[in-house]
Structure 1
């Protein structure tokens, strides 16, 4: 039998003086779109891109989390400067979160096959609780006062950096760098929404195995003030730089299977299926996420390759498969 969570939000509303705004929706989209993880990495493959994503979590729970996300970026100067943006709407029961952001990033060439990505961005958030959607509550409750919703909005800012050497990436970001900034709540006497500072560390490497096969390893650690850390690790096999499949583990008790590929004409499709192994994820149902992407100017089918053909070979492959001069005896 499915579980209703409306009462949970009612209890939070009544008994909590402050509601945390840090339960931002997770995504597996970054496995092939680095911008979704760290906006400083806009233009990583030197293409302008746009990504439309839908995520449905906890299918065994009525009104479980649903997220619609749109992000993308474009080049504004000589493949060095990139302008990006993101919007998403996340709805869980009576609780809704809207985000809009704009980012600027700069790519600095530091050596042969070495780059540094720098990025800054501004975020706008709006949280709201729909009182009209709550069930079995007393309309005469003084907390309601004839209102249909409680909402609040705030601004924040972030920055990030990433070092790239061929297949290696090591990065750090603060998606929300301003600490403890409260929302501007529209209704006096309502619970406060508050945002905490957030930290993000990530590392990945694209290994070359045999001809036409690569393996991408990824590790991500997130930490929000006053909340436990969140760790993810994944391994994804890539075939001919245009089709991929892999596994992801999250320490909050979730495993994900991820598949995707380049469809053609600039379009790529990615799908992930998650199931719980512990904690609140166990018994709450599965999670489905699907993303449709469009890459401007894609001419070949190698989605996991830089537009100019650079940064696509690992150091190990270059050293092992160095061509050997042939000696021909004409006697």
Structure 2
């Protein structure tokens, strides 16, 4: 009986979570794959570039939440770049799924010989799906025999829309020079209705992100600790969606073929007395080989919210390094050049 009650509670919690305000997935490796942040990064590194990122939260069986992201982009002229991004988010236990595909465009404007301004836009199609027929309602459970009935008197819940389709637009810009970058993006400008209930209207909340990165050369320091071409990277990413907010700050050592870094996830605007300033510590490593870069990160939870098992992320990025026609300037953070 206790098992059945726990099962019902989990189902109900899952149902209400779907009807609550949705939050966009956030990736630890945003500096390795900046296309997750801002359409202004479309074609940022000029030549053909593509990547895949896979994220698993709460890896223990049915509690897992899996998120995958993929992209491809390229500069197609001296100023214009095009690309495509795909996002898929699914919950193992509830079978809830969120899918979105976007076409991206950015335009490079040279402010002067050092600074470049890159506005960008993403336009796409989104789809949410949830099988309401899998819900187990109270009147389907016989508390005396623990038997489960196949039907319920509340047909309204089990006959809700199982799929929602919507149109979405996001926009942003990036300003960069040879040492670093700064950007701002706003997602879900169309505020699409994401409610599964026909009579409800739940607009998807705007997602704001303010982000930056900077690179320091440290291979010239009078020390034998660091090899040639070593850089110190720093980054920050402030995000807000509805009442939720988050600030990631991080640093990394970038060697010629290896990057080792760590991000701190903070809650700068704690909404309650139980809020934690630092909610997780996220170390990551990336290895560069040829035209490929492999990244791995693990999020260590530091809050007291249950027995969370952390989050694994793996990424693989491909970038064609040689480009005889690309008019690129050197950027220390991402190591692109002519």
* Partner residue of 1:173 out of 166, 173, 185: 185
* Structure 2 counterpart SS, 1:35: helix
Cα deviation digits, residues 78-116 of structure 1 (max 9, x gap): 3x2111111121112322211111111011122223211
Indicate if the aligned counterparts of 1:113 and 1:311 stay in contact, CA closer than 8 A. no
* Structure 2 counterpart SS, 1:111: coil
* Partner residue of 1:311 out of 315, 324, 330: 330
Residue 105 (str. 1) matches residue 129 (str. 2): no
TM-score normalised by L of structure 2:
0.78
Distance 1:184 1:286 in 2: 29
Q: What residue in structure 2 maps to residue 208 of structure 1? A: 217
- Label 1:9 to 1:50 Cα distance change in 2 as closer, same or farther (>3 A): farther
Distance 1:29 1:11 in 2: 30
* Partner residue of 2:247 out of 231, 253, 267: 231
* Partner residue of 1:154 out of 160, 166, 190: 166
User: How many corresponding residue pairs?
Assistant: 294
Q: What residue in structure 2 maps to residue 30 of structure 1? A: 30
RMSD across aligned positions (CA) = 2.8
Indicate if the aligned counterparts of 2:114 and 2:177 stay in contact, CA closer than 8 A. yes
Q: What residue in structure 1 maps to residue 315 of structure 2? A: 291
Indicate if the aligned counterparts of 2:46 and 2:328 stay in contact, CA closer than 8 A. no
Distance 1:290 1:53 in 2: 6
Q: What residue in structure 2 maps to residue 50 of structure 1? A: 50
TM-score normalised by L of structure 1:
0.79
Structure 1 or 2: more strand by fraction: 1
State the shift of 1:36 in Å.
1.8
- Label 1:127 to 1:9 Cα distance change in 2 as closer, same or farther (>3 A): farther
Q: What residue in structure 2 maps to residue 327 of structure 1? A: none
- Label 1:28 to 1:57 Cα distance change in 2 as closer, same or farther (>3 A): same
Distance 2:18 2:288 in 1: 48
State the shift of 1:133 in Å.
4.0
State the shift of 1:309 in Å.
7.0
Indicate if the aligned counterparts of 1:222 and 1:230 stay in contact, CA closer than 8 A. yes
Distance 2:292 2:18 in 1: 46
Q: What residue in structure 2 maps to residue 248 of structure 1? A: 263
Distance 1:313 1:172 in 2: 20
Q: Which moved more, 1:123-132 or 1:93-102?
A: 123-132
Residue 219 (str. 1) matches residue 233 (str. 2): no
State the shift of 1:72 in Å.
1.8
Distance 1:262 1:199 in 2: 31
State the shift of 1:130 in Å.
2.3
Matches within 5 A, 1:260-299: 260-264=286-290, 266-280=291-305, 283-296=307-320, 298-299=321-322
Please, which runs of 5 or more residues in structure 1 have no aligned partner?
A: 301-306, 315-331
Q: What residue in structure 1 maps to residue 59 of structure 2? A: 59
Please, which runs of 5 or more residues in structure 2 have no aligned partner?
A: 1-5, 141-150, 220-227, 268-278, 334-338
Indicate if the aligned counterparts of 1:218 and 1:235 stay in contact, CA closer than 8 A. yes
* Structure 2 counterpart SS, 1:31: coil
Cα deviation digits, residues 30-84 of structure 1 (max 9, x gap): 2122222112112222222111111101224633210122112122223x21111
Indicate if the aligned counterparts of 1:216 and 1:238 stay in contact, CA closer than 8 A. yes
State the shift of 1:146 in Å.
5.4
Distance 2:116 2:311 in 1: 35
